[in-house]
Structure 1
């Protein structure tokens, strides 16, 4: 999932990668070209958004916050604190109001960090992921209360600059743990991330309503139940809801 200035594209190839596009003239064209290159078609992008009076299965979008939301952690409800949260990466996104609250923290000896944060600690220190999620407690804009079914922990090693920047893959990044959280009013999870080695790692969360999934772009060993590609002409976005968090990085002290 690539989130950029309120626009959303489902890009299978981007599931285990991060794309940054500098805001400015032509950024939307850059993103369209990116999706064409990695997914073969542009979905949800159109120069003509006028309502035609009939279902549009080839293009379209929702009003901001109607379906896709970007949630930013801020110390106060003010513009400066909001932008500080964005710059710090304290961000998670969801579809269709799937979850109300997401709190994620990595803890190690003498240090901790939340979404977008970085911990620098000694090699050999044990790390633990601590999660608290509150699923949706009220109806969304489609007038139903979505149900969170599963939460995935995605972890990968920090390997430094890629030799080939066109590879577009985060090596050794996999879904390391999946939890069935059906029916829980508050989800509280703890996961052992192992010890800090000679290279760092990062971890992030993903979750869904469990309605649709398929083996991920890089195979079942990497992602056994990832987002499923839409069926052209038969795709109901409200029946395929997900949330994603930004990563937390853990690096060895030099």
Structure 2
């Protein structure tokens, strides 16, 4: 992959194009069928497929095993190349929110949307729990409230979704594009594929197959235009150890346009505030479980806790997320509130509520006393998922999520982030490959990454001014499809450079050279306030100063802030 020689600037970079200007070689252009290639290009394409670096061409038989890895049409063709800065706008949101239509929550849809907008969100997804009562009457009943919120808060996009009890696994967010049949599709999905409704929560091959069937249903509903779009993200994947590596790979490989990623950071971030500070004193994210009968036996005990507020699958350099990226699988992270009941709020459920009969609790009332047992923040108050969207409507927001143009942060650690891969030395400001993209260059081309950060310039909602201390660049080789689908390590991934952030700046810019590239790799970026760190799970050679294991009952989220960004791949040909 060549050598690197990083250097730091305190001024803005320009942005260059993402390759040397040459057209995409025909062997890599999946719009060209095999039958129209020369024998040499057919051979080259076959080699790339066998290495797990190129997807199957449309209509090609016997070549589907590489589908879903780097080079699939939606990544190598549609999302590669130069995406100009200014072609999209970063829009902050939250895809995991519960209302009075969930059996363990209490707020109105409008309560969450009003708070989310006040705290700077542009989009929200209402995801009440799947279950017998919700499947029977809750899906229809919440919809008028969502429609009303769309009219009351036109500045925000308000999606109707649900939190899916994934058969044989944990929970997940289902998002559908608004439309005439959004309720019909969600209701049919929940009644036929929800693990709780179908009694299919335990680990078994049949239940795993039911989860795949649910994803297939969503894909079919989209193809038939019953809904304009649909997508799925796994929620709090390590909390109980239920989401095995092979299940995650199975979801992604079965429906790569529907199954898009998981929560890099769970909600419930207030849950570990100490009881001495009037907090609930639990595990951050309510990650305070231990292995159970249905947990994947290979996961270590450390995976049942958060690390700097982030899920173990994401926070571990060389861990499960990296093992997917090393295969070339586009798999994205998000961060959400999972808001049910907000810490120190004085609301209580409305009097004389009968959830089982009505599918909802009565509207909340003032309860006079602050709730010190709740573990949640309002949407946008602490966690944010920033999506690069080319327009301000639902379609463009979902397109940005699917493309992986996403970075996440806690506590307003930074104001904005722009990460680009480019040919070294090219300073065309409008060029470069953004988050989620693939930079294709000829072998031997020098490649660099530019990282532009706008620092926080005002206090967050805890009245603290966040201070970014360090930005880490993480890099890993693309090694192709894993022979063992339960693997959760990526031994060739490590932190290759840490950039210290100078104090007193409004913006900082960093550049790192990968040298002249000869083999495929990916990189990703994270940053921290530096307050709580420790050597990573796989040692100092892999992650010398990583996030610290969160202590149950003693992890104030405002004092331990991180941001993470989705990856960019570099594919030499």
Q: TM-score range by the shorter chain?
A: 0.7 to 0.9
Equivalent position of 1:77 in the other structure: 392
Equivalent position of 2:515 in the other structure: 194
**Structure 1 residues 68 and 81 mapped into 2: Cα distance closer, same or farther (>3 Å)?**
same
Quote how far apart the aligned CAs of 1:65 are. Answer: 1.5
Give the Cα separation in 2 of the matches to 1:47 and 1:76: 27
8 A contact 1:140–1:146 mirrored in 2: yes
Quote how far apart the aligned CAs of 1:40 are. Answer: 5.3
Equivalent position of 1:34 in the other structure: 241
Aligned: 1:166 with 2:486: yes
Quote how far apart the aligned CAs of 1:176 are. Answer: 0.4
State how many pairs are aligned: 234
Out of 395, 400, 406, the position equivalent to 1:91 is 406
Equivalent position of 1:65 in the other structure: 380
**TM-score (norm. length: structure 2):** 0.38
8 A contact 2:477–2:521 mirrored in 1: yes
Higher strand share: 1
Equivalent position of 1:101 in the other structure: 416
Quote how far apart the aligned CAs of 1:247 are. Answer: 0.4
8 A contact 1:150–1:182 mirrored in 2: no
Whichever of the two has the greater Rg, that structure is 2
Aligned: 1:132 with 2:452: yes
Which aligned pairs between 1:47-58 and structure 2 lie closer than 5 A?
49=341, 55-56=372-373
Quote how far apart the aligned CAs of 1:142 are. Answer: 0.8
Give the Cα separation in 1 of the matches to 2:237 and 2:472: 30
Give the Cα separation in 1 of the matches to 2:559 and 2:305: 21
Which aligned pairs between 1:145-224 and structure 2 lie closer than 5 A?
145-183=465-503, 184-197=505-518, 199-224=519-544
Quote how far apart the aligned CAs of 1:68 are. Answer: 1.1
Give the Cα separation in 1 of the matches to 2:467 and 2:236: 35
Higher helix share: 2
Deviates further, 34-43 or 177-186 = 34-43
Give the Cα separation in 1 of the matches to 2:561 and 2:343: 24
Give the Cα separation in 1 of the matches to 2:410 and 2:376: 13
Give the Cα separation in 2 of the matches to 1:159 and 1:181: 33
Equivalent position of 1:121 in the other structure: 441
Quote how far apart the aligned CAs of 1:252 are. Answer: 2.0
Question: Could you say what secondary structure the match of 2:432 adopts?
Answer: strand
Question: Could you say what secondary structure the match of 1:73 adopts?
Answer: strand
Cα deviation 1:9-39 (Å, max 9, x = unaligned): xxxxxxxxxxxx8755455586533375443
**TM-score (norm. length: structure 1):** 0.81
Give the Cα separation in 1 of the matches to 2:529 and 2:469: 5
Structure 1 residues not aligned, in runs of 5+: 8-20
Deviates further, 104-113 or 135-144 = 104-113
